[in-house]
Amino acid sequence: MGLFSGFSLSNSFIGNGFYLFQALRMAPKITTELLRQLRQTMKTSQSITEPIQAYIVPSGDAHQSEYIAPCDCRREYISGFNGSAGTAIVTEQSAAMWTDGRYFLQAAQQMDSNWTLMKMGLKETPTQEDWLISMLPEGARVGVDPFIIQTDQWKSMALALKNAGHLLVPIQENLIDAIWSNRPERPCQLLITLELSYTGLFNLRGSDVEYNPVFFAYAMVGTDTIRRTQCYLSPYTPVCLAKAVKNAREVEGMRRAHVKDAVALCEFFNWLEKEIQKDTVTEIMASDKAEDLRSQQEDFVSLSFATISSSGPDAAIIHYKPVPETNRKLSVGEIFLLDSGAQYKDGTTDVTRTVHFGTPTDYEKECFTYVLKGHIAVSAAVFPNGIKEPGYYEDGAFGIRIENLVLVVPAATKYNFRDRGSLTFEPITLVPIQTKMINVDLLTQKEGLIELLPALGLCTSKIQPDYQPMGSQLTSEMSSLLGAEGETHRVSPTGGTFCIQGWHTDRKDRTGVL
């Protein structure tokens, strides 16, 4: 089955270390007055026929987008928590926030004592439905903006509340908007029409949402006629599948984008290796430099998300974004994690690399290597047709993450059970992984030897032709990632994204040796 789908490998886990608690560096938002205003609106809003006893504030917008415009950041406004995932529920006496493990630390820092953090995935954490039922008075009404709650969430919530004697009701006026003074205006930027050399549903791009080439709109895609005049939207649309399956031109564009991105990041890490010795580089400076180098690449449009530039303990906050109040200096004695990406006309990138420009401890190398092993295992997986980036985070210590973008491609297997076919991953991220962080003794033979592809050789052969015209040698730019020159060690496999432990600079073919 010739399906190509691009996405990011993601299966993070959280490490619990015995470290002294780090003082909170993010000042929480004081929400006492906002909650008072919201609770008053729950009783008196003209858009409700009778008072409601609880109000649900989801994360998304009317398009169920992960990334939203400032005017739609309602959950952040009422709570102070600005992570990309979470649901707030406010009752007459309590306020609670549900979010996943990526944001436990961040949410705890950004919310004040008015809020209870509900850590999703933990056995002791109640579901939203169970918590509401335990908190509500008899025969309560629970309100939510019907435009920003997912259909399946509405159905499950409505059923659970009904069975407990309560009622979920749609509130046409968003109650957060009703109390939001100086709410940002909805963006309405100019549309950009792309040439036919690019491919897309409409070949239109916008900038209504930061870091995303989209604009506010709804589309109806039909054949020749509307099958039933009373049907405005079908329950399921084939357009989503068509957009998920990448055609040859889209795949070509994705590959080009990742070559450009790898060039920019190799330059960045080379710059950082030198500048960090001066003890002047901050998280924000590093973030700005990475953006500057990307912007010099052909067809650069913007970043694809806010750069996560995190040093030392900040790297344990999974979606940390440096601000002046939290901006740390980078140090040769600490881990540095950069999670970043860009929008190019021909593709979008998202890559994470974790590096150390001093001497990593044995424990840091052990943690890094286990993350790498997880990444290799996922990258090399072969799975039946039709059926998460590894990470490790210790509060107050450090965080480690490795992230590549991949294509889902058909896999050649010995057997073909029921003619279903099998799929595997083809990494398209070409940014090297720093090998000084690897404890090779922890790698198995399959993880440590070239068995799938000539890992580094494939990586550099794709980058080198585009890199040389920029006036620098690839080896000098990659020196900070590839370890000491002249050494030969084991290498790791999977699609040109894992690098030699040591590097032969005199080898013209740039392939690894044992």
Domain assignment present for residue 219? The answer is: no
**Domain count of the chain?**
2
Residues facing 382 on adjacent strands: 424
- Statement to judge: residues 71 and 14 lie in one domain: no
CA–CA dist 155, 151 (Å, integer): 6
Closest among 313, 314, 268 to 291, alpha carbons compared: 268
Residue 495 forms part of a structural domain: no
What span, in angstroms and rounded, lies between the C-alpha atoms of 318 and 323?
A: 15
Dihedral angle sign, alpha carbons of residues 305, 311, 313, 315: positive
Q: What is the rounded CA–CA span in Å between residue 372 and residue 365?
A: 10
Pairing of strands 192-193, 204-205: antiparallel
Instruction: Characterize 347-361 residue by residue with b for buried, 16 or more Cβ atoms within 10 angstroms of its Cβ, and e for exposed.
Output: bbbbbbbbbbbeebe
Q: Do residue 47 and residue 14 come from a single domain?
A: no
Domain presence at residue 114: yes
170 near 151, Cβ under 8 Å? no
User: What residues pair up with 340 in beta bridges, in sequence order?
Assistant: 351
Same domain, 171 and 39: yes
Do 11 and 52 fall within a single domain? no
**90 plus 9 within the same structural domain:** no
Taking only Cα atoms into account, the Rg of the chain, rounded to an integer number of angstroms, comes to: 25
- Residue of 401, 449, 403 lying closest to 425 (CA atoms): 403
Residue 190 domain-assigned?
A: no
**Run of H or E including 54:** strand 54-57
Residue at a domain's end among 399, 427, 442: 442
pLDDT at 404: 86
Instruction: For residue 75, give the CATH number of its domain.
Output: 3.40.350.10
> Tokens at residue 378, please?
């996922």
| Contact criterion met (CB below 8 Å) for 379 and 419 | no
Which range of residues forms the domain containing residue 144?
32-179
Residues 172 and 293 in one domain: no
pLDDT of residue 446: 74
User: Are residues 270 and 175 part of one domain?
Assistant: no
pLDDT (0 to 100) of residue 54: 97
- Strand, helix or coil at 310? strand
* Residue 209 placed within a domain: no
Residue type, position 128, single letter: Q
pLDDT by residue for the chain (514 residues), tens only, comes to 333 344 445 434 333 332 222 333 568 999 999 999 999 999 999 888 899 999 999 998 998 888 899 999 999 999 999 988 999 999 999 999 999 988 998 899 999 999 999 999 999 999 999 999 999 999 999 999 999 998 889 999 999 999 999 999 999 899 999 999 999 999 888 888 888 777 677 788 888 888 888 888 887 776 665 555 454 555 556 777 777 888 888 899 999 999 999 999 999 999 999 999 999 999 999 999 999 999 999 999 999 999 999 999 999 988 888 999 899 999 999 999 999 999 999 999 999 999 999 999 999 999 999 999 888 888 888 877 665 566 888 888 999 998 888 888 888 887 777 778 888 888 888 888 888 888 888 888 777 643 333 333 445 555 555 544 443 434 444 444 444 333 333 333 333 333 332 222 222 332 222 2
Q: Among 260, 283, 261, which Cα is nearest to 272's?
A: 283
Beta carbons of 404 and 371 less than 8 angstroms apart: no
Rounded to the nearest 5 percent, the helix, strand and coil shares of the chain are 35, 20, 50
Q: Report the residue count for the chain.
A: 514
Residues 51 and 100 in one domain: yes
In three-state form (DSSP H/G/I as H, E/B as E, the rest C), the secondary structure along 449-498 is: CCCCCCHHHHHHHHHHHHHHHHCCCHHHHHHHHHCCECCCCCCCCCCCCC
* Dmax (CA) of the chain: 78
Residue 444, both tokens: 């198995």
What is the pLDDT, as a whole number, of residue 416?
Answer: 78
Assign residue 259 the CATH number of its domain: 3.90.230.10
Domain assignment present for residue 92? The answer is: yes
Helix (H) or strand (E) holding 426: strand 422-427
Last residue of a domain, one of 410, 442, 474: 442
Which pLDDT belongs to residue 513? Answer: 25
Burial (Cβ within 10 Å: 0-12, 13-18, ≥19) of residue 453: middle
Could you tell me if 263 and 133 lie in one domain? Answer: no
Same domain assignment for residues 162 and 275: no
pTM equals: 0.63
Any idea what DSSP says for residue 209? B
Nearest to 258 by CA among 153, 405, 439: 405
Q: Which of 130, 162, 179 is where one domain is finished?
A: 179
| Secondary element (H or E) of residue 22 | none
CA distance 344 to 317: 28
| Closest C-alpha among 307, 316, 356 to residue 25 | 316
54 and 10 housed in the same domain: no
Conformational region of residue 64, where left means phi above 0, alpha means psi within -120 to 50, and beta covers everything else: left
394 and 403 Cβ atoms separated by less than 8 Å: no
320 domain-assigned: yes
Residue 48: both structure tokens together: 């409700």
- 283 with 344, same domain: the answer is yes
- The CA distance from 436 to 4, in Å, is 34
- Domain assignment present for 23: no
